[in-house]
Amino acid sequence: MAAIMLQGTGSDVGKSVLVAGLCRALVRRGYSVRPFKPQNMSNNAAVTADGGEIGRAQALQALAAGMEPHSDMNPVLLKPQADRTSQLVVHGKVRGTLGVGNFRTARAELLGAVMESYVRLRQQCDIVVVEGAGSPAEINLRAGDIANMGFARAADVPVILVGDIDRGGVIAAIAGTKAIIDPADAAMIRGFLINKFRGDPALFEDGYRQIEQLSGWRGFGVIPWLSATARLPSEDAVVLERNIDRGARGTVIACPVLPRIANFDDLDPFKLEPDVELVMVPPGQPIPAQASLIILPGSKATIADLRALRAEGWDIDILSHHRRGRPILGICGGYQMLGRSISDPHGIEGEPERIEGLGLLDVDTRLMGDKSLERVAGTAWGQSFTGYEMHVGLTDGPDRARHFARLADGRTDGAVSADGRICGTYVHGLFASTEARAGLLASLGVKSGAVDYAASVEQALDDIAGQLELHADIDAMIEMATKG
């Protein structure tokens, strides 16, 4: 029963991908592996086998480890729903909210829940691969920390520090971390990894040795830029630079990037389609007039995001798109926005209120009750799919009589407008199903490339694991994990 933890010199240094790659590399060596992230902050989440939710990155890491996602793999999940407030999910279930007033105190009290999950995982496998959050260099957040050194010291797990050379300043980032963190925290770090290197690693040999001298830590390798990462599900932020090409190489599917956009990896499978251009529309830009389909995505704060959508003028673009006779699909929060109204009588998203929707579907939504978290299967566009539901609220009205999908258990999902051009659904993950994606594209007059999205992700994980085998000292990592 061994463990190793990857922490970073900052956010977005590639920890999540490296943990996934390391999990896959260890599995290929015959080890039983579990991923673990004590605390995550993300609105991209996945439904677990035990009926909870965890960060999307940990679900991907579970896939890399050949395991079903479980709520123990990410015991504390924070889902931002306002600038100063996050929904708190513990062991897969909503426990309340955290804000600036109670964040530090409440977070420190969650260490017990974190350790419970970690102990259970350790009893199930040979090695636990742990991912930190943010950076241990954020010493202003050290008191009450459960995500980085607070966990590492409580669980006595050795740490490898990951530095991102692509953003520059990696020598200072690693050596600077050693200089400013508590000496007892620094003692938990046994070495470093350089990530996202472009070019000939020999050119960085002097820098690599200088980091070893300045920090006193050994290097575990220089990882090249992993192009396979682009084939993995999106994690914590929409990578807009992947979608800046407006050359309209094919049929345009447009999605506005809302402030609290959630589970936007729903759209990732469209990247595999050779005749489709997926455009994630950033704030300040109009929805492209040439779009054949607009998809309104999920949201962690539907009412606030609907206001933001109107403030951007996207409602005008959407209504113009509709007048041109083109289809619109709303997923989860986007489905709710398409209706006549959204009411929040119990203040689930903030103050109790009611807001007018876009009025394109003859349905109304009330935000109430427990969060629906379940995996589902069914048919839509005449094709089979698997997916999951993750939402709060009940949606009903005349357009529900024309359901969007029929689920395998006989229930119906979603709504369709009388003219058939406006659809709403609570099902996430639809487009990962090759048949359902092809069915949607056929309705737009586009022939799908019929690429298996799941197989593409599996191949990407294998490719990343292969790169780690070539460029990281995995044998030394295993020895460190075993001996502590």
Confirm if 41 and 16 have CB atoms less than 8 A apart. no
Alpha-carbon gap, residue 8 to 193, rounded angstroms:
9
Question: Comparing C-alpha atoms, which of 210, 206, 205, 278 is closest to residue 243?
Answer: 278
Of residues 91, 321, 428, 471, which has the active-site annotation?
428
Please confirm, yes or no, whether 423 is among the known catalytic residues.
Answer: no
Q: How many CB atoms lie within 10 A of CB 45?
A: 29
Pairing status of strand 298-299 against strand 261-262: antiparallel
Integer Cα distance of 355 and 62 in angstroms: 39
Catalytic position from the list 125, 255, 332, 423: 332
Helices 15-28 + 474-483 axis angle, to 10: 90
70 is known as an active-site residue: no
Using the 8-state DSSP alphabet, how is residue 287 labeled? P
d(CA 161, CA 136): 9
Task: Please say whether the beta carbons of 33 and 126 come within 8 A.
Answer: yes
CA–CA gap between residue 415 and residue 232 (Å, rounded): 30
Alpha-helical (H) ranges within 360-400 are: none
d(CA 460, CA 471): 17
Contact call for residues 390 and 263 (beta carbons, < 8 A): yes
Residue 318 bridge partners (DSSP): none
Q: Which residue stretches of 324-433 are H helix?
A: 333-338
Q: Which of the 8 DSSP states describes residue 225?
A: P
What is the rounded distance in angstroms from the CA atom of residue 128 to the CA atom of residue 73?
Answer: 10
Query: Which long-range contacts link 355-358 to residues 24+ away (Cβ below 8 Å)?
Result: 355/303, 355/306, 355/307, 357/306, 358/306, 358/315, 358/318, 358/319
Strands 405-407 and 412-413, sheet pairing? antiparallel
Instruction: Give the residue numbers marked as catalytic.
Output: 332, 428
